[in-house]
Amino acid sequence: MAPLQITPLHPSLGAEVAGVDLSKPVDAPTRQALSRALADHLALVVRDQALTPAQYLAAASVFGPPMEQHYSQHNMPDFPLIGLIWHQNGQRPAEQWHTDHTNRERPPAATILYGVEIPSAGGGTSVANMRAAYVALADAERRRLEGLTTFNSLDSGHTDTRQEDRDKYGTPIEHPMVRTHPVHGSRAVYFHITKATHISGMTPVASRAYMTDLLERMIRPEIVYHHVWRKGDVLIIDDRATMHRAHGDYDRRQRRVLWRIIVEGDRPRLV
């Protein structure tokens, strides 16, 4: 295998990684290099992978211990730590900007997606650099956000969520709206608009309006990497400093199947 090569894909975030076969064990120096590259570039793409579920779980553990997902109705039957993103499984594409599983005390450090079946056009995934979004805000708004927290629960709009998941993961969890990255100490805006029941000191309606306005102002093309899927791609997204969204602009008669693993991170905090 050639030495690890990391090539930026976009001026703000995203890099392609060559020289690693994720179907094989990853040695300690490579694990460290990949973890650092994720923190630096916030999204990594590894092309042309051919992975069994067990190999995929082992590869994901490079970035942290795989954690349970709370839409267990979409889990792979024999590998419950792998979620199936598949519209023919009854799912709607997650087209709103978000970061995963903010209703957990220790939300994911990373979301890892593996392209198993890809439509002929469309169906991409966009990732936004929320570190850059934070830096671009006016000083007064940065200070305001640094004093705010969100209370996070399961999305109210998912009617097929199992009761056992509601019982396990529905208790509100408070997180700061600006979090400090544990690897290099930079700050990023952090929230999930549909998991946040409200912002501290604000009504749910006012909270939703403020978060909607923030997203419209913050997420500009210059801070977004758009991933066009190829079969065999692995996309690793740093959930500590990004938001991402799916695009439903593909022919629904075609299959779009991604395998998702989330890996445990730190409790968000502002330092």
Determine contact, residues 243/117, Cβ cutoff 8 Å.
no
pLDDT digits (tens, 9 = 90+) for 179-203: 999 998 999 999 999 999 999 999 9
For the whole model, what pTM was predicted?
Answer: 0.94
Answer whether residue 165 shows pLDDT above 90. Answer: no
Sign of torsion, CA 33 35 40 41?
A: positive
Domain boundaries, position 84:
5-264
Q: For residue 271, tell me if it sits in a domain.
A: no
Counting the structural domains of the chain, the total is 1
Structural contact between residues 145 and 215, judged by C-beta atoms closer than 8 angstroms? no
Rounded to whole angstroms, the Cα distance separating 172 from 170 reads 6
Q: What is the CATH number of the domain that holds 191?
A: 3.60.130.10
- Kindly state whether residue 26 falls inside one of the protein's structural domains: yes
Percent of the chain with pLDDT over 90: 82
269 assigned to some structural domain: no
In DSSP terms, 76 is beta-bridged to: 79
Which tens digit of pLDDT belongs to each residue from 78-96? 999 999 988 776 677 788 9
For 36, half-sphere exposure in the C-beta direction (CA atoms, 13 angstrom radius) is 8
Residue 220 lies in a domain: yes
Asked if residue 139 is part of any domain, the answer here is yes
Residue 61 lies in a domain: yes
Q: Residue 270 domain-assigned? A: no
Supply the DSSP string of 57-86, one letter for each residue: HHHHGGGS-B---S-GGGEETTEEEEEEEE
